[in-house]
Structure 1
Amino acid sequence: MKNATVGRVSARLRSWFPDREFFMRSEGQVRFIKISARTQMIAAGAVAAFVLIWALTMAAMAISGYLSQRDRLSLLDREAKVTTAESRVNAYRGDLGRQVGDMNRRQDFIEKTVQAHMGDLPKDAQAGETVSDSASEAAATIKKVSLAVPEAAELAGIEARQLAFIEGLTRIADRRSAAAEAKLASLGISSAIALAALDDKDAQGGPLILMATAADGSIDPRFQRFGLSLARMDALERSVAGLPQVLPANLEYISSGFGFRANPFTGGGGEFHPGLDFKGPYGAPIYAAAPGTVSFVGVRSGYGNCVEIDHGNGLVTRYAHMSRFRAVQGSRVGAGDVIGLIGSTGRSTGPHLHFEVRINDRPVNPRPFLEAAPDVLQEARGAHAAQSAR
């Protein structure tokens, strides 16, 4: 089969390239040139090989040109993308600058508003204070950031302002707490009673609204400390606000003080008087000395018609010898609200208000509480001096 195929191909080629004879006449002479089939096939093969080599060369050149053009276009495309990205970075840097400016202006607004209502925030640390001071750390951070990421230097500056601001707020909260604690101590009230409410988790609730200072939900310890200082300040100042600070009656004068006195009915012997007696006309109004909840309205032995107000933290005020009640048990009253009228019920020699301050059901002298409020007893002293001069 193979030999037959080769024979057919050979025969076909011979039919294409038969032996050829050429006659050439020159100067009267005739020459015969014979070109055999073999020679013709060799020549044809050489021409075919040349054409093939030329075609391959041209194809290679075309492919190379195409690849070069493609690489060039790709490079141009990458350069265009780099240029676009760089322009966007510049745009973001411009936006960052505007944002930094806005943030600085907002911080200025916050600081000036707080300053207008609270005064200058303390920057100096006092003995015994435990508030952090980030000034030196912040300065070092700004320096490092300026070298590593220059465009973020202003952001580091804003962070430093925020930390200094929150530390100043923490200091002022701690100092207000200390002032409230000192006032309570001067009246014999332990601040531990007021602060116990911070640990009492009974009767509390509401929606869960988390607070955080970082994207991961955490709170910077300095901000957390500020929150705790505010809670402490609020508890102590609420205790101070609950102290008797309003004269419970428009008095003529204090007719009997706290402590030892002679028996007002016999004039002899001695007895302990657990409050202050404010002389006044029958039916004159009696005022709540501090905000609180009315815890008792009724009659007590020796006191007659009596109203008691619970101010929290074990502090109670008692108002006795009333002619009429103007308060309802369980209601909230504010300082200065009318809760009754002066009378002479119970053990009494005439119309007056008997006023007591009790801490954990123990009577204490009401005078220091009233004197803790600015000028509250000046009227009483003036009235007493005028009565003595008559």
Structure 2
Amino acid sequence: MQRLARLRRSLEELFPERHLYVRAGGEMKAFVLSTKKQMVAAGVVAGAALWLGISTAAMLVGVFSASSADREIARTQAKYERWIADRQARLNSAVAQLNAADGSTEELAVAIEKRHAALALLLTDVKGTPGAAEALTPAISRALAATDANPTRRVEMVRISQEQLLDAADTFAKSRADRLRLAFRLAGLSPSTYMPKGGSLGGPLIESKDPRALAAVLDVDEAFAERIQHAASDMSEARALSEAAQRLPFAKPTANTPKTSGFGVRYDPFTRRPAYHSGLDFAGGTMTPVYSTAPGVVSFTGVRSGYGNTVEVDHGRGFKTRYAHLHSIGVRAGQRVAVGQRLGGMGSTGRSTGTHLHYEVWVNGRAQNPDRFVRAGQYVLQQAG
């Protein structure tokens, strides 16, 4: 009781009763600002300041996150420009050698044949990779179009074409691997976590860490063997990350639907107070298809408190996605689903103010921002296209 009394006296000292006099139209009006009224007003001001602070912090986090990704993209682009300049310098050197060539056509032909075998191994790894055909076609077309009346020059032109083809394959491999790494970082994931353990990527071209050993195996010069090895290593990393990306929830759960609410603190539509929102909301009509964002196993179907009709999919490695407020459910628990497979139809069940999908991404028991995964998926699709 004494503590309450002391607290009350402290509040009265902090917010003493005040009298406000207002003169209007020749009349004097008096207003009494009691301690209670002042405390309520101070609480409202403090709440508004807190909400403004939280909103500003969330906005700054989003801005800094976007600027960080932009800087990463700029660094990657600058790296590609340096690679292109380096490749052009090597090509100019090869052309200079061509102009001064006085060696044996037979010796050149043998060297080119050995390089061709090494390139064939590399291009076997590249074959079937999305975007590879488009990246390598210009170099192949230039090689086929090269003609010269002098036999020595024709053979040397083939060697230069091999250099160009290797440059194109190397640049493509580095570009794809780096862009996939950036997509993982956009999702807040560490790319190294999804690489094979022990750094072993497999493939005959990168089993040996020493380029000299690979040069001896392929019977080509060491510089060419080292470039082959680098391209094969980057392609193997890109393949590992691409395969990992296909198992992660990078797809969008609905098609052609606007996002109506984001992840984080927002005004609750029922209480009109700041509240934590653990997912993304997508608006649409009743029974708009809802799709699985990654392959996995349906771990739950049914009604969850507040979520209404819900489907949950376990994607392995600690990843889980949740699809809530559904009008109907088209899968059953234990069923294996593929990416893009229909899980149900959009609805307004549970704690919902209208037809929409509430979508969540969980990693090791913690809710993540699904927007980062959606953005990463869009980036992967752009690069694949």
TM (normalized to structure 1)?
0.48
TM (normalized to structure 2)?
0.48
